Amino acid sequence: MPTPRKKETIQAAHFRWLLGQRNGVFFADGRSNPDKLGRHSLGTSDRTEALENLKRLDLVMAVERGMADKELLNTSPATGMPLETGRDLYLDHVKGAKITGGASARTWKRYRAVFDKFLPFSAERGATSCLQVTKGLLEAYARHLEAEGYAHATAYLECTTIKQFLKFLVEDGHAPASVVFKFPVSKPHDTDVYCWRPTEVAAMLEYCKKYKGLTWLGRILTALTYTGMRISEVASLRVADLHFDTNTIRLTDERHSQAARKRGHARELKGKRSRSFPIHAELLPVLQAIPAAGDGLVFHGPLGGRIKPDVVRNCLKREVLTKLKDRFPTPAGEARGFIDGRLHSFRHFFCSMCANSGKVSEQALMQWLGHRSSLMVKHYYHLHDEQSQTAMQQVNFVPKPSA
């Protein structure tokens, strides 16, 4: 059994802290206080600097609890709050109670991932405090993301998160108003997610049927094909969500459900809204044939356990896409092709096929997908707009030569 790390007890002006080190960096643990102040990185491996940062952290916590004057924060050293401390405070804020609009665990992890990249980038450029996050630094970070090949949507999210982070610090009195600056970022309006073609989807489903070891994956891909659900929704689909008497699937957002929390897996839908949609005739026998399991879930992984989206993604790429890529080569001049498709491509395929059928209204499809508004849905409806196609053909741009 490893020897527990020793921590030094520090009685600061307002609270008691345990000072320790992890990977050489000092941290302050305030969980022994009645308010359970959490564990915070002090952002340095120098003990003297760590103690100064701890004084600031102690003051911030005191101000938050009404134990100290907010103006005292403005008398802190010019170096400002360490970025690591500010990040911890912001992530605690984001993780607020559900009733006050707190983010889901998935969203919280996505925000944390932003800082996991931004903080090392900033440190390499000598920016270790909140006061050192400037417009120039954020511009450099945006260029860095583009150079590393991150999608426009990813760069938009990351830069927007840093802006929200700085705004939070000012509004909560952790930093002066000067740390907020104008930094417009353009929101992405298109997507480069590959959309499967019908022949490609048919080949994947047939391939999974052919090999017994891929039966579990074939069921999941069938559900994605005929419902447009996200992989997280398929993974959380329960037998109780299937209503064969009305031929519908009912997805319920359970973030406020006590019963779901007691069960251990409270489903949180991305749009925060419950929805229902019909079961397609091709999907119905697949659902009915899946053997019952004691956990109440519909779909399971290769060993019969709960689905892990990353396992499904990796298996799709390794066991299906790679094996079929020679049948569906990327066309010359195209940036993406069959081999670049992913699980979310099934959602685009579902949307495209519904729009192309001419039998599903845009409003109905948005309800099935759980969108209040969606550029993706509008894109496919515009692409397959028969009236638009007909109107174009009726325009006589160049007069035909007389006989």
Is it the case that residue 71 has pLDDT exceeding 70?
no
Report the pLDDT value the prediction gives residue 152, as an integer from 0 to 100.
Answer: 84
Backbone angles phi, psi at 200, to 5 degrees: -70, -45
Report the pLDDT value the prediction gives residue 64, as an integer from 0 to 100.
Answer: 79
Average pLDDT over residues 333-344: 90
Locate CATH 1.10.150.130 in the chain.
Answer: 8-67+79-179
- Rg of the chain, C-alpha, whole Å: 27
Average pLDDT over residues 148-158: 87
CB neighbours of residue 45 within 10 Å: 12
Report the pLDDT value the prediction gives residue 275, as an integer from 0 to 100.
Answer: 92
The pLDDT mean for the chain works out to 86
1: confidence class by pLDDT, cuts 50, 70, 90: very low
Is it the case that residue 77 has pLDDT exceeding 60?
no
Spell out the residues 6+ positions from residue 106 whose beta carbon is closer than 8 angstroms to its own: 232, 268
Q: Among 49-53, 182-186, 235-239, 354-358, name the one with the lowest average pLDDT.
A: 49-53
Q: How far is CA 160 from CA 83, 155, 357, in A?
A: 17, 8, 38
Average pLDDT over residues 121-137: 88
d(CA 390, CA 383): 13
Question: Hey, what are 111's tokens?
Answer: 């925000």
Contact 84, 40 (CB under 8 A): yes
Is it the case that residue 222 has pLDDT exceeding 90?
yes
Contact 74, 20 (CB under 8 A): no
d(CA 122, CA 139): 12
Higher-pLDDT residue of 173 and 208 is 208
Average pLDDT over residues 39-57: 81
Locate CATH 1.10.443.10 in the chain.
Answer: 198-256+267-385
Spell out the residues 6+ positions from residue 89 whose beta carbon is closer than 8 angstroms to its own: 40, 60, 168, 169, 172, 174
Higher-pLDDT residue of 257 and 246 is 246
Domain 198-256+267-385, CATH: 1.10.443.10
Is it the case that residue 264 has pLDDT exceeding 90?
no
Order of strands across the sheet with 39-41? 8-11, 16-22, 25-29, 39-41
Is it the case that residue 3 has pLDDT exceeding 90?
no
DSSP 189: -
Q: Residue 15 in 3-state DSSP?
A: coil
pLDDT tens by residue, 155-196: 999 999 999 999 998 888 888 787 888 888 887 766 678 899
Report the pLDDT value the prediction gives residue 276, as an integer from 0 to 100.
Answer: 93
Contact 110, 67 (CB under 8 A): no
pLDDT tens by residue, 299-315: 999 989 999 988 999 99
Question: Hey, what are 362's tokens?
Answer: 């845009």
Average pLDDT over residues 367-372: 88
Is it the case that residue 256 has pLDDT exceeding 80?
no
397: confidence class by pLDDT, cuts 50, 70, 90: confident
Its CATH class, for the domain covering 8-67+79-179, is: mainly alpha
d(CA 197, CA 346): 10
d(CA 201, CA 271): 27
Is it the case that residue 147 has pLDDT exceeding 50?
yes
Report the pLDDT value the prediction gives residue 246, as an integer from 0 to 100.
Answer: 96
Q: Residue 38 in 3-state DSSP?
A: coil
d(CA 185, CA 153): 11
* Interaxial angle between packed helices 215-227 and 198-210, expressed in degrees from 0 to 180 and rounded to the nearest 10: 150
Report the pLDDT value the prediction gives residue 262, as an integer from 0 to 100.
Answer: 65
Contact 10, 18 (CB under 8 A): yes
Report the pLDDT value the prediction gives residue 48, as an integer from 0 to 100.
Answer: 83
Report the pLDDT value the prediction gives residue 191, as an integer from 0 to 100.
Answer: 66
Q: Which residues pair with 39 in a beta bridge?
A: 29
Report the pLDDT value the prediction gives residue 117, as an integer from 0 to 100.
Answer: 94
